[in-house]
């Protein structure tokens, strides 16, 4: 948990009539200000395996609108791989401390295939809104390298956003899915691969329609809404090294909070961390993946531990009323640096397939098929 | 001598004599009088009459006690008003001289309100809307969560904290998948339609 300043000074207030003249003064002052340049700082360490070739931020704008500064940073970074290894993924951290103290953003590109000395582009778009009262001038935006993942799964970078963990999982999923589609091509030929792609595109379209707007709130609640504890049902994945035994969350009028799980390590390797997928079914029968719950578990083989997110609340932007909840272990990181991810057979289970998003690599391959056709997809699968 | 048709009217000469003629007419009459003996004679007559009336008005009649007369007049006025109110309540006509400033102010409010609504970022409009709803529902509980929050919808992800909003996007592209995580992050996944390259953007509360 980070620390956050609790402030009400910046909150728009129209409740007091004495504020009305201030309200309009701010409005007129804001209207009189023209668009200003954006303070964009790009920072790479000297020993970084990638170096910026060029930075284009020509159409970035900072404009005073109403009682706020609206900043749109559009930057396109052209980077060169200076290392001797192929790059598989990169994450750039984006900071705007004046807007969200402690808050950060990131841009990651998984499934890259950048050979040494090759160049590639990272596009960064950051829309920001900062109250005029929160400072003077356009807010500064800083871009830093957070991590680079190489072909051999080695990593470079400060990893302030746990990008090593995420990029390694994406790369393992990419390898799993490429291997699967290659095997489909070998066993079922072009027709089999085409059918797989069509099924993937169809599932993706259905899944996107199910997903409602969700929000995750961190910090202790000041609003008392007792709610009631509701039990999770768990999908048992026999090949998973961790088993979820029991779990509850407190259901309130606008969502759920304080999820708690009991997890057992049923493998022979110590577990460092794991992630649980949180599925929610609403009273209309619509089921979707509401959130994921990563947790530092530190579980020795055979041991049971508890995952508790006391100050976490999941809320819905529409009037979704939770009916039932399910959970499943979606990935595990072992203490020795190894990972477990579900196999294709597990994620192709009808109970999960329509609810869980496909890997970034499957989405990339499906887009290549949709845009360029089967021949281009086959060519792409042969690359690596 | 000029023709009689061009002589000023007699009332104009009377008004000229008392100084009540408008400026342009006064100049025209003055020019005429400088050339017309007959009219100047009439105008002089009016001036003499005026001086005589003023002199008579200044002389008080004998035996008049102005203080007493003033008190009597005041008393009579009060008696008259009281008598009028006894007969029927007098309807007072409300002057409507104030409606124009009100209309101007209302129009200005509409223009400024529209400009505000069209120009102010959506996040602030939402806050304003919530505040108005709170005023409307005075007495009921309306929970406004001020804790750092990450949002994920089918169109965007954003972090709202301290009155500021921090988003990460890929221009005008819509994400193909969004997710939130209990540690306080939201992620959106974008696929480039030409190359298939996947870009994942995230915002974190810490």
pLDDT above 80 for B51? yes
Q: Tell me if A289 sits within 8 A of A277, measured CB to CB.
A: yes
Two structure tokens written together for A292? 């994921």
Report domain extents, chain B. 4-58, 145-206
| In-domain check, residue A150 | yes
Which position has the higher pLDDT, A164 or B58?
Answer: A164
Question: Looking at the structure, do residues A203 and A340 belong to the same domain, yes or no?
Answer: yes
Question: Looking at the structure, do residues A154 and A168 belong to the same domain, yes or no?
Answer: no
Predicted-complex ipTM score: 0.84
Question: Looking at the structure, do residues A156 and A248 belong to the same domain, yes or no?
Answer: no
Question: Looking at the structure, do residues A155 and A196 belong to the same domain, yes or no?
Answer: no
Which position has the higher pLDDT, B182 or A265?
Answer: A265
- Maximum average pLDDT range among A359-373, B59-73, B181-195: A359-373
Question: Looking at the structure, do residues A45 and A142 belong to the same domain, yes or no?
Answer: yes
Question: Looking at the structure, do residues A184 and A263 belong to the same domain, yes or no?
Answer: yes
Worst-scoring range by mean pLDDT, A92-96, A206-210, A230-234, B71-75? A206-210
Tell me which residue in A10, A13, A109 faces B199 most closely, judged by beta carbons.
A109
Number of domains in chain A: 2
| pTM of the entire predicted model | 0.70
**Chain B residue with minimum CA distance to A20:** B109
Tell me if B181 and A4 make a contact (CB, 8 A cut-off): no
Minimal C-alpha gap between B96 and chain A (Å):
26
Which position has the higher pLDDT, B148 or B138?
Answer: B148
Question: Looking at the structure, do residues A132 and A221 belong to the same domain, yes or no?
Answer: no
Question: Looking at the structure, do residues A180 and A119 belong to the same domain, yes or no?
Answer: no
Q: What is the pLDDT of residues A68-121, one digit of tens each?
A: 777 788 889 999 999 999 999 999 999 887 666 767 889 999 999 999 999 999
CA distances from B43 to A294, B16, B20, B31, B62 (A): 108, 8, 13, 13, 33
Identify all chain A residues contacting B162, using CB atoms and an 8 Å cutoff: 4-5, 7, 10, 99-101, 134
The mean pLDDT value of chain B amounts to 79
The pLDDT of residue A24 = 45
pLDDT above 80 for B103? yes
The DSSP code sequence of B93-158 is: PPP-TTHHHHHHHHHHHHHHHHHHHHHS-HHHHHHHHHHHHHHHTTTS------S-EEEE-SS-EE
Residue range(s) defining the domain that contains residue A256: 163-384
Euclidean distance between CA atoms A384 and B20, whole angstroms: 106
Give the end of a domain, one of A132, A161, A190.
Answer: A161
| In-domain check, residue A120 | yes
CATH of the domain at A128: 2.60.40
Residues 160-179 of A with CB under 8 A from B: 161, 170
Identify all chain B residues contacting A291, using CB atoms and an 8 Å cutoff: 179-182
Question: Looking at the structure, do residues A141 and A173 belong to the same domain, yes or no?
Answer: no
Q: What is the pLDDT of residues B111-146, one digit of tens each?
A: 888 877 776 666 666 666 666 766 665 544 444 556
Tell me which residue in B124, B193, B201 faces A68 most closely, judged by beta carbons.
B124
pLDDT band at A319 (very low <50, low <70, confident <90, very high): low
Question: Looking at the structure, do residues A69 and A90 belong to the same domain, yes or no?
Answer: yes
Worst-scoring range by mean pLDDT, B8-12, B87-91, B159-163, B164-168? B87-91
Helix (H, G, I), strand (E, B) or coil at B60: coil
Give the end of a domain, one of A116, A137, A161.
Answer: A161
The percentage of chain A sitting over the pLDDT mark of 90, rounded to a whole number, equals 50
Q: What is the mean pLDDT of residues A118-130?
A: 88
Question: Looking at the structure, do residues A150 and A245 belong to the same domain, yes or no?
Answer: no
Tell me if B145 and A223 make a contact (CB, 8 A cut-off): yes
Give the end of a domain, one of A120, A136, A161.
Answer: A161
**A291 at the B interface (CB within 8 A)?**
yes
Tell me which residue in A1, A128, A291 faces B165 most closely, judged by beta carbons.
A128
- CA torsion A208-A213-A218-A222 (nearest 10°) is -160
**β-strand pairing of B177-181 with A68-81:** unpaired
Q: What is the mean pLDDT of residues A328-342?
A: 95
Helix (H, G, I), strand (E, B) or coil at A101: coil
């Amino acid at each position: 948990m980070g620390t956050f300043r609790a402030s009400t000074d910046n909150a728009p207030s129209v409740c007091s009539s004495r504020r009305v003249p201030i309200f309009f003064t701010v409005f007129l002052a804001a209207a009189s200000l023209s668009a200003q340049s954006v303070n964009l700082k790009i920072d790479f360490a000297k020993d970084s395996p990638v170096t910026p070739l060029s930075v284009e931020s020509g159409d970035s704008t900072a404009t005073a609108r109403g009682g706020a500064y609206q900043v749109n940073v559009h930057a396109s970074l052209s980077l060169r791989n200076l290392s001797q290894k192929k790059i598989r993924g990169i994450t750039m951290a984006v900071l705007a401390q004046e807007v969200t103290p402690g808050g950060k953003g990131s841009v990651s590109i998984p499934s890259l295939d950048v050979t040494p000395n090759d160049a590639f582009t990272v596009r960064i778009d950051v829309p920001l809104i900062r109250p005029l009262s929160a400072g003077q001038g356009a807010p500064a935006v800083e871009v830093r390298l957070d991590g680079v993942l190489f072909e051999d799964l080695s990593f470079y970078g400060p990893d302030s956003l746990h990008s090593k963990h995420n990029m390694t999982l994406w790369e393992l999923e990419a390898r799993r899915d490429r291997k699967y589609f290659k095997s489909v091509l070998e066993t079922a030929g072009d027709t089999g691969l085409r059918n797989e792609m069509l099924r993937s595109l169809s599932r993706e379209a259905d899944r996107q329609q199910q997903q409602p707007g969700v929000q995750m709130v961190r910090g202790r609640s000041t609003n008392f809404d007792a709610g009631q504890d509701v039990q999770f049902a768990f999908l048992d994945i026999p090949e998973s090294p961790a088993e979820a035994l029991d779990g509850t969350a407190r259901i309130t009028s606008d969502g759920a909070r304080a999820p708690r799980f009991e997890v057992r390590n049923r493998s022979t390797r110590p577990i460092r961390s794991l992630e649980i997928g949180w599925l929610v079914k609403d009273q209309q029968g619509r089921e979707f993946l509401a959130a994921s719950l990563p947790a530092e578990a530190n579980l020795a083989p055979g041991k049971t531990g508890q995952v508790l997110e006391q100050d976490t609340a999941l809320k819905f932007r529409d009037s979704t009323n939770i009916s039932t909840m399910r959970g499943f272990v979606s990935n595990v990181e072992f203490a020795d640096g190894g990972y477990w991810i579900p196999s294709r057979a597990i994620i192709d289970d009808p109970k999960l397939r329509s609810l869980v998003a496909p890997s970034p690599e499957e989405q990339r391959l499906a887009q290549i098929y949709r845009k360029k056709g089967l021949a281009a997809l086959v060519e792409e699968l042969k690359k690596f | 001598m000029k023709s009689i048709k061009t002589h000023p009217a007699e009332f104009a000469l009377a008004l000229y004599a008392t100084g009540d003629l408008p400026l342009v007419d006064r100049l025209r009459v003055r020019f005429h009088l400088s050339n017309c003996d007959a009219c100047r004679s009439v105008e002089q007559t009016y001036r003499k009459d005026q001086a005589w009336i003023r002199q008579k008005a200044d002389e008080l009649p004998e035996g008049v006690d102005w203080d007493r007369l003033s008190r009597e007049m005041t008393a009579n006025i009060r008696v008259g008003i009281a008598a009028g109110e006894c007969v029927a309540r007098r309807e007072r006509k409300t002057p409507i001289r104030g409606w124009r400033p009100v209309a101007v102010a209302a129009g200005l409010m509409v223009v400024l309100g529209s400009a505000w609504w069209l120009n102010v970022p959506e996040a602030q409009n939402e806050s304003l809307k919530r505040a108005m709803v709170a005023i409307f529902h005075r007495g009921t509980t309306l929970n406004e969560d001020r804790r750092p929050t990450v949002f994920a919808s089918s169109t965007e992800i954003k972090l709202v904290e301290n009155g500021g909003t921090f988003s990460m996007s890929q221009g005008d592209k819509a994400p193909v998948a969004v997710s939130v995580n209990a540690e306080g992050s939201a992620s959106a996944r974008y696929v480039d339609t030409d190359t298939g390259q996947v870009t994942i953007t995230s915002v974190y509360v810490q």
